[in-house]
Amino acid sequence: MTLVNMRDEMMKGAPICVAGCGAITAVGRGVSALRSALPVNASGLRPCPEFDSTRFQSRVAGRAPAEEGWRDDPAFGLAATALREAQDEAAGVLGNVRPERLGLVLATTKANIDAMQRRMEGRSCSDSAGRHMQADLLAADLAAEARAGGPVQTVSIACASGLVAIQQGAKLLQRDAADAVLVVGVDHLSDFVVAGFTSLKALDPEGCRPFDRNRCGLSPGEAGAAVVLVREAEGAGLAVRLAGWGNSNDANHMTGPSRDGSGLVLAIRQALALAGLEPGSIDYVNAHGTGTPYNDAMECLALRSVFGEEGPAVSGSKGMLGHTLGAAGVVESVLCITAMREGIMPGTPRLADPDEGAPARLLREPVRGARMQHVMKLNVGFGGINSALVFSHG
């Protein structure tokens, strides 16, 4: 099947649009916090005293605001908070959806890993927190909380989980398995993950600096984020729709990206083909942009390969939010959707001195009033996973 045929096949399903968003991140609670952070290029990264320097490579992380009672079950708390906000925004559309026609797709890498740590260390852990260390049970309980009685899926595909989960939500709608789908991404900060990146020497002690000449690692973050997807007919008048996607594997290395970016190029080209767009139509790319030397260099090569020397505006958001792993695709998509609604191209918080290989139109600061009709979101992950999404206005 050719790429043109792939597009025709995809378009047989109804176009999908975004009816609501929710987020709780290092810059605060609610999409309003993202909206406030965008124009001032704010960073939510802070030193976190619990990650002491004798055990961890860096204390800098993106900690979301906690609520009373969450710390036993942070994954559920973060995800449920984001879900409620997204459902509230989409209430007008969701009011017409029967519970058995409301689906849920969860994106996570580690679910409530804190509970596993507690059990192995002989510390107390509530039954529900223990249950939520299993991602599919976390998804089932989030669906119950959201009164989503339709299909439930749990996607866990490294740091591309969020983008793949959004695609799965769209596919459920196109197959008419649901009339609306809640896509929620969550991962919480844990000793487990920070120790892992410490062991790989992958953390920047000063906090991540995506695409910076002096970048030397990522900063972990936590977030809950959610989007409500509906078919365009049900969401008539909603501004942002999901136009296309693409996925690939580097088939190269478990923890490092391919040096030439060819795997990511495959995913980007497929997403453009499904969206029916030429590379020159993309106004803005929100990169994966971890701040690790190899990831950012690989992305620069891939972007140049597809878009040429000039290319679209590019920025990265992990200096604002930290690397939120399985939630990254959803929370960074919410950021893109918010930026499209506000007419602001996001900057790259914490970027000081752009690398010489960086994209020609790398944005250090946000740009107001910029054209944001077609936006591409990229994520890549361990195991060579690459994913690209295109969001379009109207």
Partner 1 sequence: MHEVTEADLAGARMGKRFNRLDRMSQLAVLAVEPLVATLEGVSRDRIGVVLSARAGSISTDVEYWAGRDRVGGPSPTLFAYTLPSSAIGEIAIRHGLRGPNLCFVGGEDLVLAEAQDLVRRGEAEACLGVVCDVVTEEAARVLGEAPGARVRAFVVGGK
Close Cβ partners of 2 (under 8 Å, ≥ 6 residues apart): none
3-state secondary structure of 4: helix
Q: Considering beta carbons, is residue 97 or 164 the nearer one to partner 1?
A: 164
Q: Considering beta carbons, is residue 184 or 335 the nearer one to partner 1?
A: 184
List 27, 78, 94, 111, residue binding partner 1 (CB under 8 A): 111
Quote the distance between the C-alpha of residue 143 and its chain's center. 20
Query: Does position 259 bind partner 1 by CB under 8 A?
Result: no
Of residues 166-225, those binding partner 1 (CB under 8 A) = 168, 171, 175, 191-192, 195-200
Quote the CA–CA distance of 100 and 114 in Å, as a whole number: 32
Quote the CA–CA distance of 36 and 367 in Å, as a whole number: 14
List 71, 147, 213, 253, residue binding partner 1 (CB under 8 A): 253
List 88, 251, 259, 368, residue binding partner 1 (CB under 8 A): 251
Active site residue 253: no
Nearest to 126 by CA among 80, 79, 70, 82: 70
Count of residues of this chain found to bind partner 1 when the rule CB under 8 A is applied: 57
Quote the CA–CA distance of 382 and 385 in Å, as a whole number: 6
| 361 to 390: interface string for partner 1, x by CB under 8 A | --------------------xxxxx-----
Question: Tokens representing 226?
Answer: 């959610």
**Contact window for partner 1 (CB under 8 A) among 87-95, 253-261, 282-290, 306-314:** 253-261
Quote the CA–CA distance of 207 and 158 in Å, as a whole number: 22
Amino acid in position 295: N
End-to-end alpha-carbon separation of the chain, Å? 28
- Other C-beta atoms within 10 Å of 349: how many? 28
Query: Does position 135 bind partner 1 by CB under 8 A?
Result: yes
Which strand (E) or helix (H) includes residue 241?
strand 240-249
Which strand (E) or helix (H) includes residue 246?
strand 240-249
Quote the CA–CA distance of 329 and 42 in Å, as a whole number: 19
Which strand (E) or helix (H) includes residue 386?
strand 385-393
List 82, 93, 104, 164, residue binding partner 1 (CB under 8 A): 164
List 25, 41, 87, 109, residue binding partner 1 (CB under 8 A): 109
List 41, 87, 153, 317, residue binding partner 1 (CB under 8 A): 153
Q: How far is CA 39 from CA 139, 249, 342, 391, in A?
A: 34, 35, 10, 20
Query: Does position 156 bind partner 1 by CB under 8 A?
Result: yes
Q: Considering beta carbons, is residue 109 or 317 the nearer one to partner 1?
A: 109
Half-sphere exposure of 283 (CA within 13 A, CB side): 18
Which one from 132, 188, 288, 374 is the annotated catalytic residue?
288
Active site residue 159: yes
Active site residue 323: yes
Of residues 269-308, those binding partner 1 (CB under 8 A) = 270
Minimum CB distance to partner 1, residue 255 (Å): 5
Note the residues at the interface with partner 1 (CB under 8 A).
Answer: 1-3, 5-6, 9-10, 55, 109-111, 113, 116-117, 119-120, 133-136, 139, 153-158, 164, 168, 171, 175, 191-192, 195-200, 246-255, 263, 266, 270, 381-385
**Residues with active-site annotation:** 159, 288, 323
